[in-house]
Amino acid sequence: MSKNGFGLLPKLENTVEMARSLAISEDRKQILKVLVEYIQSKADAGDAADLNFICTHNSRRSQFSQIWAQTAADCFGVSAHCFSGGVEVTAFNERAVDSIKRSGFRVTKKGEENPTYFIFHSDDAEPIAAFSKLFDDPINRTDRFAAVMTCAHADENCPFIPGAESRIPVRYEDPKAFDDTPEEAEKYDERSMQIAAEMFYVFSQIAIVGS
């Protein structure tokens, strides 16, 4: 399905096919429309879309969003740089990392306390570096980006994101509520799949100039 000449890792390709078969409600499509329009405006201008997915701890939903958005952008050949951040530094939660692995991403790890995970969706592309950080960490874009608010707490408690030219709420329920329960893995995978479905929907809507 890639327009860039690379193929997704085999298990991941199957996961993406399942995600793309999930229904997205009209209410969610209206929420996602603002993100689609922002990315399209960048594509029309011949620019890359810089997206910073923000959640309080940058440990679960914002990481899922960064990883799936970058994967979708790469698959559809849309020029985009996807980042993530929070308002507190914790760590990329190991339960979320395990869910990403179950989806078929290849993951390597460097460090211990707040490790950096390198997430591979393909044998032919650079990995996505994922670790918990503040939204204004030097690794992230500091101006002319869209702040995509993935949780209610960060959305409501960060009324101003310096450098953002657009602020787009795309909130998700936190799978943390199911930590240490029999439903833990199922609920993390469910949230990851929802985010995958919506990010693939978003990037499928982008018309690339000259393509």
- Which pTM was predicted? 0.96
Q: What is the mean pLDDT of residues 173-195?
A: 98
**Number of helices and strands in the chain (H, E):** 6, 7
Mean residue pLDDT of the chain comes to: 94
Which has the closest alpha carbon to 187: 102, 66, 116?
A: 102
Q: Is 209 contained in some domain?
A: no
Is 143 a member of any domain?
Answer: yes
Question: How far apart (Å, rounded) are the C-alpha atoms in residues 179 and 108?
Answer: 23
Does some domain include residue 5?
no
Residue 170 CA: distances (Å) to CA of 65, 83, 109, 126, 181: 10, 15, 28, 26, 26
Sequence-distant (6+) residues with CB within 8 A of 143 are 163, 165
Domain contains 72: yes
What is the tally of structural domains in the chain? 1
* Assigned domain for 60 exists: yes
Position 182 scores a pLDDT of 98
**Band of the pLDDT at 153, cuts 50, 70, 90?**
confident
Does residue 155 sit within a domain? yes
Stretch 46-61: mean pLDDT: 97
Residue 116 belongs to what domain range? 10-204
Residue 2 maps to a domain: no
CATH for 111: 3.40.50.2300
On the question of pLDDT at 165 being above 80, the answer is: yes
Decide if 59 is inside a domain. Answer: yes
Nearest C-alpha neighbor of 13 from the set 103, 123, 106: 103
| Three-state DSSP class for residue 120 | strand
Residue 195 in contact with residue 18, Cβ under 8 Å? no
Alpha carbons 200 and 133: distance in angstroms, whole number: 25
* Cβ-contact 199, 65 below 8 angstroms: yes
Which pLDDT band, with edges at 50, 70 and 90, does 209 fall under? confident
